[in-house]
Amino acid sequence: MVSLNRRVFIATSAASLAATSIGRLPAQVSGASRPWYDAMRRCGHLNFNEQDPLTMNVEAWTDYFVGLKVDTLMPNGGGIMAFYPTAIPFHHRSQFLGTRDLFGETVTAARKHNIRIVARMDCNYAYEDAFQAHPEWFEFNKDGSPRRHSECPWLYKTCLFSNYFTEQMTAIYRELSDRFAPDAFYTNGWPGTDAPGVCYCQNCQKIYGEQTGGEPPQWPDTRSDIYRKYYEVYMNRVTRVWALWQSTSMEKTSNSVYAGNLSGIRTVKNVNRMGKDAAWFYADNQGRSGDTSIWMCAQEGRLARAVAGKRPVTNSVGSYASGTPGWRHTSKTKEETTLWLAQAVASGMVPSYHWLGSSPLDTRWKETGRAFYSWLAQNENHFRNGNTIANIAVLYPQATISFYAANGARERKLNGQAIDTTDYLEGLYAALVEGRFLFDFVHQENLNPDVLKKYRVLLIPNAAYLGDHECEAIRAYVASGGSVLATFETSRYNEWGEQRADFALKDIFGVSTAGALIGPFGNSYMHKDKAHPVLDGYDGTEILPGPEFRVPVTRIGSEENYLSVIPNYPSFPPEMVYPQVRKTDEPAAMFRQLGSARIAYFPGDIDRTFLRSGHPDFSKLLINSIHWLMNGAEAPAQIAGDGLVELFAWETEPGFALHLLNYTNPGLTHPFVSKFYPTGPHRVTFRVPDGRRIGSVMALREGYKLEFKQAGAEVTFEIPRVVDYEVVALT
């Protein structure tokens, strides 16, 4: 193991960054005039590879991006590899660079067309010569060996707590600023939202000893006091390095900005905390693989908006095949790419169209981007969004998604498949799309009256880990008349996963816990005991399928029990398939009225069970519950028609925009979409503020005006069809 001297440790400790000012952010954050990146609408991203200096035609590539009408271009600046003649020691130049300055040529060509430049950086790896000279910059395994890249073993993993981040990277930023004055910097892969890594270099070992009291576990385990402390130390380091790089980027140009890599709804690092530090939120969510649902990009937009507010949010859209396995040099289908781009803009993000290498042998992706970006440019003013138009909030349960696996969920498996902590949110999301609801995400740390006051209903998908103050915020929301749906173990633990004696929200739910978790079991049921609006539409049956897991709760009187538990019984052999217990007084759901608020609580994981089983009785139960919770409140927009369509609606500079994403496709959960299946007609009732008169309703994708009627606040019209995506502009 390499020893570190005192100077290196002091330079790399969290305390060494204490003087870095997070407050020195661009104008938008301080409330002054809007920064340039607030107005960007179309980005281009060309990832250089090491051989590109040999053959890249900068003018031809610039012409392509000019044809896309981009206002921002992201070429490689440096960090892992320099594409300009750097003078910084151990900043590896492309071995094929020769006398070229590829980055400088790209900057010059782009600026001839008034295109802004974002320098793409990589701080995660460096070459062996750097390792030999500065081993203190790098991560080590527990056995004392350095960590190398799995595919490129000549690259060594850099350590966040080293002065590679505070000295080497800032030196590279300054060199680029002095020579090229880029408008922004972006780091590939950092900080990310995955779990904080654990390094075994001597510097980190010292930090662990002095700041956490011991070596943290390798995976997130909040049962460990050491891990909790380490999580805070790590997050502090991330935000301080972020602040340092932001400050460094502004030294030469005051309106420059640093953007970090943030993506995905499966987050372990606190995305809300990083989002608040981000003047520009850049989501690296390029495509889907496996059984990922088609709406993953739209989910990213909802989460990014929940934590970034009205600050700019960009989504990197990979034009290459991103399945499993992936092919980085073949194109996605034009349909998959188009729908990904559409989700980005529908959810309020700015698309950044991405290709790798300057000599593509597959160029099918080029026209896909050109067609979508040209249409986007023609209708740019309708994508200058203000507030969303939604009165339903979905809680993003950060602590549960980050840490729930540590409390036993890791061992819970269905047919050998481990439960994912996002399954509950994903199941609810699928039902919301099916029910054609307009909704926003709200991060659990942002539960407060100012955020919640616009919403009639708050939906909580198994927020098992909730802090006391967050539970108080939910309780205050209910007291103010807001209605709530919650599932499973919501509020059973505090934010660190310490089990409470009872639900913190037992007064809201109307029941208490009554024992250990039950499951996983199939072939359990819920019995319809009494009529209730939530149970409408289940004609011909007395029972509904039961969730795979449930929290046993205290019994209630028959006057309150609408849906009760029938415990699981054998599903095989056929001779044994009959209920051992046909009726209980254990509630499978609670439907309550608290003042003007309504409460629907399900002790079972009906959201996750719906996701994994696909049984429509669960989605109907969720959809019916939401309609009942609305209690007659008018939805901002109602859309009737066939097909699976996700909705967004925004206030815009010229008026309003209703976005419809057509997901009706056999490729719904398996990339790639390769054909569209048009839906329609869709009959729309759109509500505008009182006194607002609408003069035109235009279908922007199809390019024609729609006939409409307005009666008071209600504007009604029909969309004949939606092929892939439609945006209806009301002005």
**53, 55, 58, 59: CA torsion to nearest 10:** 160
As a whole number of angstroms, the distance between CA 14 and CA 17 comes to: 6
Identify the pLDDT of residue 263. 87
Identify the pLDDT of residue 461. 98
**Per the structure block, which two tokens stand in for 185?**
């910097």
Identify the pLDDT of residue 289. 84
**Per the structure block, which two tokens stand in for 150?**
């799995």
Identify the pLDDT of residue 292. 87
- Angle 255-71-51 (CA atoms, 0-180°, nearest 5)? 95
Give the whole-number percent of the chain exceeding pLDDT 70: 94
114 conformational bin, left if phi > 0, alpha if psi -120 to 50, beta if neither: left
The dihedral through the CA atoms of 151, 154, 155, 157 has a sign that is positive
Half-sphere exposure of 316 (CA within 13 A, CB side): 28
The band of 323, judged by pLDDT with boundaries at 50, 70 and 90, is confident
Q: What is the mean pLDDT of the chain?
A: 93
The dihedral through the CA atoms of 111, 113, 114, 116 has a sign that is negative
Three-state SS at 355? strand
User: Quick check: pTM over 0.85?
Assistant: yes
As a whole number of angstroms, the distance between CA 346 and CA 313 comes to: 12
Identify the pLDDT of residue 325. 83
Give me the mean pLDDT over the 248-275 stretch: 94
**Per the structure block, which two tokens stand in for 525?**
């049921």
Who's near 226: CB < 8 A, 6+ residues apart?
A: 208, 212, 213, 214, 215, 216, 217
Identify the pLDDT of residue 315. 96
Who's near 320: CB < 8 A, 6+ residues apart?
A: 287, 326, 327, 328, 329, 330, 331, 332, 354, 355, 356, 365
User: If we measure between CA atoms, which residue out of 675, 731, 663 comes closest to residue 299?
Assistant: 663
Look at strands 417-418 and 413-414 and give their pairing. Answer: antiparallel
Who's near 553: CB < 8 A, 6+ residues apart?
A: 509, 511, 512, 513, 514, 586, 587, 603
- Is there a cis peptide before residue 573, judged by omega within 30 degrees of 0? yes
pLDDT, tens digit, for every residue of 646-687?
999 999 999 999 999 999 999 988 888 999 999 999 999 999
Give me the mean pLDDT over the 351-368 stretch: 96
Look at strands 590-594 and 597-602 and give their pairing. Answer: antiparallel
**Per the structure block, which two tokens stand in for 567?**
């415990």
Identify the pLDDT of residue 410. 60
Q: Residue with structure tokens 């020195």?
A: 24
As a whole number of angstroms, the distance between CA 504 and CA 492 comes to: 6
Does pLDDT of 422 surpass 50? yes
Beta bridge partners of 639: 684
Instruction: State which amino acid sits at residue 58.
Output: V
The band of 524, judged by pLDDT with boundaries at 50, 70 and 90, is very high
In the chain the domains, ranked by start, together with CATH numbers, are 6-378 (3.20.20.80), 392-630 (3.40.50.880), 637-730 (2.60.40.1180)
The band of 559, judged by pLDDT with boundaries at 50, 70 and 90, is confident
User: If we measure between CA atoms, which residue out of 272, 267, 162 comes closest to residue 220?
Assistant: 267
Half-sphere exposure of 368 (CA within 13 A, CB side): 24
Half-sphere exposure of 284 (CA within 13 A, CB side): 15
User: If we measure between CA atoms, which residue out of 292, 310, 303, 367 comes closest to residue 333?
Assistant: 367
As a whole number of angstroms, the distance between CA 74 and CA 297 comes to: 20
Give the whole-number percent of the chain exceeding pLDDT 90: 87
Helix (H) or strand (E) holding 270, with range, is none
pLDDT, tens digit, for every residue of 99-126?
999 999 999 999 999 999 999 999 999 9
The band of 23, judged by pLDDT with boundaries at 50, 70 and 90, is very low
Does pLDDT of 5 surpass 90? no
**Per the structure block, which two tokens stand in for 338?**
């188009």
